[in-house]
Amino acid sequence: PNKLSGVLEVAATSYGYAMITYVGQNLGANRLDRIRSGMRCAVLVAIATSAVIGTAMILLGESVVSLFISGTPAEVAQATDTAYRYLVIMSLCLPVLYILHVCRSAVQGMGDAMLPMVSGIAEFVMRTGGVLLLPAVMGDTGIFIAEVLAWLGADLILVPSYFLTIRKTERKLNP
């Protein structure tokens, strides 16, 4: 699953790196208008990218999964089935992950390290809680859902944090 996650997340990580730089530079230039418009564009691009990647992974997923699996035919079939179910769940929920990366990086680019750290704690709590509770109800699919819950937990902190941080920054720049 980690290799598959890496394939799904590579563009999101890149968008995050770009946002830290973009936001930091525009903050330095006191151009909050650019930060706001850049965030809107980044979120739209991130959602579009996640939709394209998610769709491709759902359509081509079994072939992609087979690149990472070896063993006897029975082992490969069982592992492919499980990995493909994981891939489909992750692919359907990619917009949540991509928004996480964009928002976390924008908040960090505005100089706030605390709120992204809190979102990381929320991710941990949601992931751990999900892994402990969901398999009893959903079987191994619950483990896959726990990952999505972790992303959602972080987003529930990061999205409001972005708006809070940009308002706070605006008040500092325009007292």
In terms of Cβ atoms closer than 10 Å to its own Cβ (0-12, 13-18, 19+), residue 170 is middle
Reported as a single tens digit per residue, the pLDDT across 72-97 is 889 888 988 988 998 899 999 999 99
Give the global pTM.
0.90
Reported as a single tens digit per residue, the pLDDT across 46-82 is 999 999 999 999 999 888 888 878 888 898 889 889 8
Give 10-residue mean pLDDT values along the chain (175 residues): 72 94 95 96 97 93 83 88 90 96 96 94 96 94 94 96 94 84
- Best CA proximity match to 47, nearest among 72, 76, 15, 24: 15
**Three-state SS at 59:** helix
